[in-house]
Amino acid sequence: MVKWYPTEDVQKVRVKRANKPTRLRGGVSPGQVLILLAGKHQGKRVIFLKQLEGGLLLVTGPYKFNGVPLKRVPQAYTVPTSTKVNVSGSDFSKINDAYFAKEKENAKKTEEAFFAPKKEKKPFSDAKKAMQKSVDAGIAGKITDPTVKKYLKTKFRLRNGMFPHTLKF
Amino acid sequence: MVKKQDRLYSRAIFLGYRRGISLQNTNQGLLRVEGVKTKTDAKWYLGKRVAYVYRGKTANKEKGLTKHRSIQGKVIAVHGDNGVVRAKFHHNLPGQAVGKLVRVMLYPFRPSN
């Protein structure tokens, strides 16, 4: 039997749904301590602040404890732990994906510019330093337990006899 | 600076390629991950990224050769009942890698709940 088809070619209308940000897994909530698994700060224990619009997680060391600044991290590269810290005293509502956007350089592509020695790196903006300080102050001030302080300063690492599939984070 | 003691990967041995008695499929490698003895334990490692790290004899920046090199891959399936795992690499592993250490990273991490 011949398959039915319309006499004129009709474009099938596909409804495009809005993308939702990735689901937060592992019961992660603001103040949870996460372990970073890759990158410059691998092994460091950081504090989860919130999920940004693009789906990445916003974390901070705090910077004074382990040198991790306000940073975006994909969820798959973090391990949620059972330790939680109070972050209610910290205001990070203004931080979004645009905060991390690179500054666009309005350099015209000329021959001299191409051969000129590379410009020095721009220093870290003072506004960002100030934001880091204010966000961290609200968190670090509330951490009174010295064990938690040490915990955030220490890196996670695997040792002999430790197998990740048996570990309870 | 990542020190040698700061291990964030599981150690695994590259047992060889997936094979029958006489025919081997060099596209898939078999890995025995340290501490993994059962099929259910091995399921934790599904999807985890894997790296065979080795050193080259010379480094030549112009040719794009570094001293430390790696072949990336990932765990694709469990192999059998005793915790062995199958992995696929971006480029197939060389035969000299048989019996050598392969790193099984902890990412992408899938929390249990």
- Cβ within 8 Å of residue A132, ≥6 positions away: A60, A63, A69, A70
| Closest by Cβ to B6, choosing from A76, A157, A166 | A157
Task: Supply the CATH classification number for the domain B23-105.
Answer: 2.40.10.190
pLDDT at A106: 64
Is the Cβ pair B8, A158 closer than 8 Å? yes
- The structure tokens listed for A128 are 């960002």
pLDDT at B23: 96
Identify which has the larger pLDDT, A138 or B76: B76
Is the Cβ pair A77, B7 closer than 8 Å? no
Interface test with A, best of B78, B84, B109, B110 (most A CBs within 10 A): B109
pLDDT in tens, A43-77: 999 999 999 988 999 999 899 999 999 999 999 99
| Long-range contacts (CB closer than 8 Å, 24 or more residues apart) made by B20-27 | B26/B92, B26/B93, B27/B88, B27/B92
Looking only at the bridges linking them, the beta strands covering B24-33 and A57-60 are: unpaired
pLDDT in tens, B8-50: 999 999 999 999 999 999 999 999 999 999 999 999 999 999 9
β-bridge mates for residue B75, sequence order: B87
pLDDT at B63: 83
- State the pLDDT confidence band at A124, using cuts at 50, 70 and 90: confident
pLDDT at A17: 82
Residue B85 has pLDDT above 90, yes or no: yes
Residue A34 has pLDDT above 70, yes or no: yes
pLDDT at B5: 78
Find out whether A58 and A3 touch, Cβ atoms under 8 Å.
no
Query: Which region among A23-27, A111-115, A123-127, A160-164 has the lowest average model confidence (pLDDT)?
Result: A111-115
Is the Cβ pair B5, A157 closer than 8 Å? yes
How buried is B46 (Cβ within 10 angstroms: 0-12 exposed, 13-18 middle, 19+ buried)? middle
B88–chain A nearest CA distance, Å: 20
Mean pLDDT of chain A: 87
pLDDT in tens, B48-81: 999 999 999 888 888 888 889 999 999 999 999 9
Backbone phi and psi for residue A51, each to the nearest 5 degrees, phi listed first: -95, 130
A82: nearest CA partner in chain B: B111
Find out whether A103 and A60 touch, Cβ atoms under 8 Å.
no
- Cβ within 8 Å of residue A74, ≥6 positions away: A55, A56, A57
Identify which has the larger pLDDT, A72 or A114: A72
Interface of B with A in 46-105 (CB under 8 A): 105
Identify which has the larger pLDDT, A106 or B104: B104
pLDDT at A112: 67
- State the pLDDT confidence band at A85, using cuts at 50, 70 and 90: very high
Backbone phi and psi for residue B97, each to the nearest 5 degrees, phi listed first: -80, -10
pLDDT at A160: 92
* Neighbour count for residue B88 (Cβ, 10 Å): 15
Identify which has the larger pLDDT, A114 or B50: B50
d(Cα B100, Cα B49) in Å, to the nearest integer?
A: 17
Query: Average pLDDT, stretch B93-107?
Result: 96
B41–chain A nearest CA distance, Å: 6
pLDDT at A113: 62
Domain coordinates of chain B in residue numbers?
23-105
Peptide bond into B108 cis (omega under 30): yes
- The structure tokens listed for A58 are 């916003």
Looking only at the bridges linking them, the beta strands covering B9-19 and A78-84 are: unpaired
- The structure tokens listed for A120 are 């020095």
pLDDT at A161: 93
ipTM: 0.87
